[in-house]
């Protein structure tokens, strides 16, 4: 299996794990696009973000972001709160329902890590970890900044 096939297989494995977790936690209703919006929101700080900021991060129009926000709010994944800096604006925050997704994320990566621990020797796992770290260190993530592994809920990985 070449590297492209391995990466594709890993991507499909992780996506399958996400879908299984979603099914067990009643989040299966979410489309890929809806998940992307939620993860953008979840990666932001706890003060939430304005609709304009969300649209910029997602590289979509404000109208598109507004439509998605409305859907997510109706499904109970998103809350709107008054913006303290601008009385005309609102802050978008993840609801408790959305936060359950964030708490499932470490389980998915932990399962993948367990697979690698069984499939590789300790020395191979150390090499794999170093090589993945080197290969992924400069990947473009767009405007998103993923949570740091030492922060909650990633502490146990």
**Token digits of residue 51:** 């609709």
Domain ranges of the chain: 3-136
> In this predicted structure, which of 15-19, 50-54, 152-156 has the lowest mean pLDDT?
152-156
**pLDDT tens-place string over residues 26-39:** 655 777 788 888 88
- Write down the pLDDT at residue 155: 36
Mean pLDDT of the chain: 80
Segment of 18-22, 81-85, 103-107 carrying the highest mean pLDDT = 81-85
**pLDDT tens-place string over residues 107-146:** 777 888 888 999 999 999 999 999 988 888 887 766 555 5
Q: For residue 14, is it left (φ>0), alpha (ψ between -120 and 50) or beta? A: alpha
- The mean pLDDT value for 16-25 works out to 69
Strand blocks (E) in the chain: 78-82, 90-94
Q: What percent of the chain has pLDDT over 90?
A: 31
Q: Alpha carbon of 99 to those of 31, 82, 93, 122, 153: distances in Å?
A: 17, 20, 10, 34, 10
- Write down the pLDDT at residue 28: 59
Instruction: State CA 136 to chain mean position distance.
Output: 16
**Which of 1.10.10.10, 3.50.50.60, 1.10.3720.10, 2.60.40.420 would CATH assign to domain 3-136?**
1.10.10.10
- Write down the pLDDT at residue 151: 43
Selected residue with higher pLDDT from 17 and 110: 110
Q: Alpha carbon of 6 to those of 18, 86, 135: distances in Å?
A: 18, 48, 14
Query: Looking at the DSSP assignment, which residues form a beta bridge with residue 49?
Result: 92
- The mean pLDDT value for 58-65 works out to 93
**Token digits of residue 26:** 């009643």
Taking the C-alpha atoms of residue 79 and residue 3, their distance in angstroms, rounded to an integer, is: 41
Does residue 52 have a pLDDT over 80?
A: yes
The pTM (predicted TM-score) of the whole model is 0.64
């Amino acid at each position: 299996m070449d590297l492209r096939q391995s990466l594709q297989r890993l991507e499909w494995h992780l996506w399958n794990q996400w879908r299984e977790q979603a099914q067990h936690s009643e989040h299966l209703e979410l489309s890929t696009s809806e998940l992307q919006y939620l993860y953008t929101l979840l990666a932001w700080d706890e003060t939430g973000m304005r609709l304009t900021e969300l649209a910029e991060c997602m590289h979509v129009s404000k109208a598109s972001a507004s439509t998605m926000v409305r859907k997510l709010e109706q499904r109970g994944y998103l809350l709107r709160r008054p913006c303290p800096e601008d009385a005309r604006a609102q802050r978008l925050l993840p609801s408790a329902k959305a936060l359950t997704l964030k708490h499932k994320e470490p389980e998915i990566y932990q399962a993948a890590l367990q697979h690698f621990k069984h499939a590789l020797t300790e020395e191979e796992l150390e090499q794999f970890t170093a090589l993945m770290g080197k290969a992924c260190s400069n990947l473009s993530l767009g405007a998103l900044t993923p949570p740091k592994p030492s922060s909650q809920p990633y502490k146990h990985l």
